[in-house]
Amino acid sequence: MKVILIEDIGKLGSAGDTIVVRDGYARNFLIPKNKAKPATDANVRWAEGLKKKKEDALANKKNEAARLAERIANFSCSISVAAGEDEKLFGSVTTQDIASALESNGFQNIDKRDILLDEPIKKLGVYQVEIKLHPEIRANLKVWVVKE
């Protein structure tokens, strides 16, 4: 039976895809649980509209990420920490510290999991930190780690 998926389902496909499944699976599971619709002409037109909306939303997110990447590239972040002799820090600067510094400077939607640090920063200095804003877009942030 041909059905159109209403929502993303693991191994079957994503919302708006037209797939062929066994009749019983469609009648007993997908359609009653509102996970799919039969592939009628009206439902096919609905699915095309859904795919168009999804593509537009993805394009908008990518454009927002590109604008944010440009803002981040022109910004440098300064983090003050306690340090001892030889410019060694008491502790380290982590992705959480960088995310907090960005949030306090007006960058609200950057999650600490999107900040890519190989290892925590343990010395004073200037560092280039990569931030993943979108699967295709990354930005480099200049982080200054200075003594309190």
72-147 belongs to which CATH class?
alpha beta
- CATH code: domain 2-64 is 3.40.5.10
Per-residue pLDDT of the chain (148 residues), as tens digits, is 999 999 999 899 988 899 999 999 999 999 999 999 999 999 999 999 988 998 999 999 999 999 999 999 999 999 999 988 888 888 899 999 999 999 998 888 889 999 999 888 999 999 999 999 998 999 999 999 999 8
Domain ranges of the chain: 2-64, 72-147
Pairing of the two strands 115-116 and 18-20: unpaired
User: For the whole model, what pTM was predicted?
Assistant: 0.69
How far is it, in rounded angstroms, from Cα 113 to Cα 123? 22
